[in-house]
A and B are shown apart, each in its own frame.
Chain A
Amino acid sequence: MANGQTGQQPIRQRRVGRSRPIGERLWATAVWVLVGFFILNLAAMIATVIVNSFGTRWFATWLPTGWTGRWYALAWNEFQLSDILLVTVQVVGAVVLLSGLIGVPAAYAMARRDFPGKKAVMLLFLLPLMVPPITYGIPMATVLYQAHLAGSIWGVILANLVPTVPFVVLIMIPFVEQIDPRVEAAARVFGAGIGRMFMQVLVPLLTPGILAAMLLVLVRTVAMFELTFLTSGPTSQTLVVALYYAVFAAGVRPGQSVDAMAVVYMITTMVWLLIALRFVNPTQIVGRAKR
């Protein structure tokens, strides 16, 4: 009995070493099936939107009975998409530019100096990224309405800067830290002031980081629903808010033209996401407050 057991032991261990046991392989298969099932549903959901936006009638069949592009023309006119796209471009452009102008110098100071209260400042920058927009958005919208800023495009821009400015700071700190401080010291020795050193030495060295941060801000602002929704008026809606109102008032207009608008929105975000992914890792889009 005892002999038999000791005899079995090495055999089993060798099998573990050579190939994985059946249980482990079943488990791996189950995990991949789960991932596949998730991606299948995700793809089918997106395909539903695209198919519906090109379909004439789609009731009791797997696919629409005919194909047409007229929902796009309808959506373009009915939802005044040209105006909405213009507002979106203005808001996103201003947010990207301003968050860079405020965020990058702050990130430089945070990376290079150790000052009293630095931990508190760091916490101050982390909070707008951790607290969900709808929680702080309601008091913020109240303040912006009292300052007569909400409802205008400036209110929307200010609201969107709240999460993006700290986001730029947190993204940029590691990029600044990896630049050798002696490069800056050399520039100072040769007589460059802070402004000149920034523009001629730091910005060129930081270009990859700034590009990554700006693209991430861009993608996040195009898709930022809650803050824009709470602060926008009829003339300052971005694409995602207009899409919300269109879905909310479903039945007023044909569902296919709402889906046509959804496709326009998807193209807008996906183009920028694809560009952004050439410079950043996908995990950076969520990795907002690691450690």
Chain B
Amino acid sequence: MSSAGMPSLRLRLRNRGLDGVTLLVLPCVLFVVALFVYPFLYGLVLSFQPKDGGPLANYRAFFADPYLYDTIGKTLLIAVPATLLNVVLSVPVAMRVRLMRHQKILTTILVIPITLGTVLVAEGLLTYLGPRGWVNRFLVDFGLISAPIRLVHNYWGVMLSLVISGFPFTFLLTLSYVSGIDPALENAGRMLGARATARFYRIILPLLAPGLAITLALSFVQAFSVFPSAVLLGAPAGPTRVISIAAYQAAFEQYDYSLASAIAMIMALVQIVIVVGLLAARGLVFRGPASGGKG
């Protein structure tokens, strides 16, 4: 390139927004590519290079062995009800809290279980829900049951832990979307004589739908990747052998990284299918001028 071309190239790049400042984004991009994108692609390739057999042997092995493919169904059986319950509970609570003046007290309390994390929630629930815990003691002392019921080391333990740590997460997301809806729209509906139920279904819900789809997707993905509480609070060899346990065991107990990658890819695929499905459903349900509420 000629010496006269150099400054013009630099100028042209700058006009397109590429200069020294733009380069500041490079370390960050390189880091995410090296430690997130590359491992993911590496895992994808590795999953097609099994210890023995053809390129698809891992996937064939997964879908031939009920001990492995059953984990998808078991995980969905825990994740789907937990997600739906959390979202269904979150919406009315968020609708109420949005009108509250001292919101921060409640949101602070609810952020505690998220911050403590699933491991601590699992340890707490083990004693709290256990045969000698306060829940069973209360139920027995008040004559509601005759003998302690089993709430840990089974399906219900995992389910309850997903509600304890999942509900606050879902609620805080829903609250941020509900607060984004202009109250003037609902007031207009009220003035025109719409009752609370009609206002909710005709005004709030259509405006909330896009945010609700994202909340559902994020909550589902979180519940689907349940790991510590499925091991500690559930029956990791039986009904709560979720897919992440299968992937972990393949990698760190059988040292078959190829199979582990294949399971991780299947896990990612199920999540992608459900998330894309939810977002596509949002496109079907939600369209039209109502989107102009508030950006």
| A interface, CB within 8 angstroms of B | 13, 16, 23-24, 27-28, 31-32, 34-35, 38-39, 41-42, 44-46, 48-49, 52, 58-60, 62, 102-103, 105-106, 108-110, 112-116, 118, 121, 124-125, 127-128, 130-136, 138-143, 158-159, 161-162, 165-166, 169, 194, 219, 223-226, 229-230, 240, 243-244, 247-248, 250, 255, 258-259, 262, 265-266, 269-270, 273, 277, 281-283, 285-287, 289-290
Contacts and interface: CB of A to CB of B under 8 A. Distances in A.
Interface in B11-38: 16-25, 27-29, 31-33, 35-38
Contact of A106 (B27, B96, B134): B27
A198 B19 CA distance: 16
Contacts of A244: 119, 228, 232
A130 B272 CA distance: 11
Contact of B125 (A45, A124, A169): A45
A-side binding surface: helix, strand, loop or mixed? helix
B83 interface: no
Given A106-B25, A139-B42, A225 B117 contact: yes
A262 B117 contact: no
A139 B264 contact: yes
Contact of A35 (B93, B122, B123): B93
A138 B261 contact: yes
Contact of A165 (B28, B95, B231): B28
B109 interface: yes
A161 B106 contact: no
Contacts of A32: 96
B35 A142 contact: no
B84 interface: no
A131 B35 contact: no
A270 B111 CA distance: 11
Nearest to A219: B115
A162 B261 CA distance: 18
Contacts of B38: 143
B137 interface: yes
Contacts of A282: 104, 107-108, 110-111, 172
Contacts of A109: 21-25
Contacts of B35: 140, 143, 158-159, 161-162
A227 B9 CA distance: 44
Contacts of B89: 34
A258 B175 CA distance: 35
B58 interface: no
19 contacts: A13-B193, A48-B124, A49-B127, A102-B28, A109-B25, A110-B25, A124-B33, A132-B225, A135-B225, A135-B271, A136-B36, A136-B40, A165-B32, A225-B118, A250-B126, A273-B112, A273-B115, A283-B176, A289-B218
A247 B122 contact: yes
Nearest to B169: A286
B119 A58 contact: no
Interface stretch (B48-56, B63-71, B244-252): B244-252
Given A46-B124, A135-B225, A139-B39, A102 B169 contact: no
Contacts of B196: 23-24, 27
A190 to B, nearest CB: 18
Given A48-B127, A269-B115, A286-B173, 13 more contacts: A41-B128, A46-B112, A49-B124, A108-B21, A116-B18, A130-B221, A138-B43, A165-B31, A219-B115, A223-B117, A226-B228, A230-B248, A244-B228
A259 B127 contact: yes
A283 B111 CA distance: 8
What 8 pairs between A and B have smallest CB-CB spacing?
Answer: A139-B43, A106-B28, A132-B225, A105-B24, A115-B17, A282-B107, A223-B117, A109-B25
Given A31-B93, A46-B124, A138-B248, A103 B28 contact: yes
Contact of B224 (A132, A139, A224): A132
A230 B216 CA distance: 27
Given A165-B28, A248-B232, A265 B112 contact: no
Interface string B206-242: 0000000010001001101101100110000000000
Contacts of A102: 27-28, 31
Interface in B63-119: 89, 92-93, 95-96, 104, 106-119
Listed residue (B117, B120, B244, B261) with the most chain A CB atoms within 10 angstroms of its CB:
B120
A169 B28 contact: yes
B158 interface: no
B125 A115 contact: no
Nearest to B217: A130
A120 B97 CA distance: 36
Contacts of A103: 28
Nearest to A184: B21
B268 interface: yes
B17 A49 contact: no
Interface string B175-206: 11000000000000000010110000000000
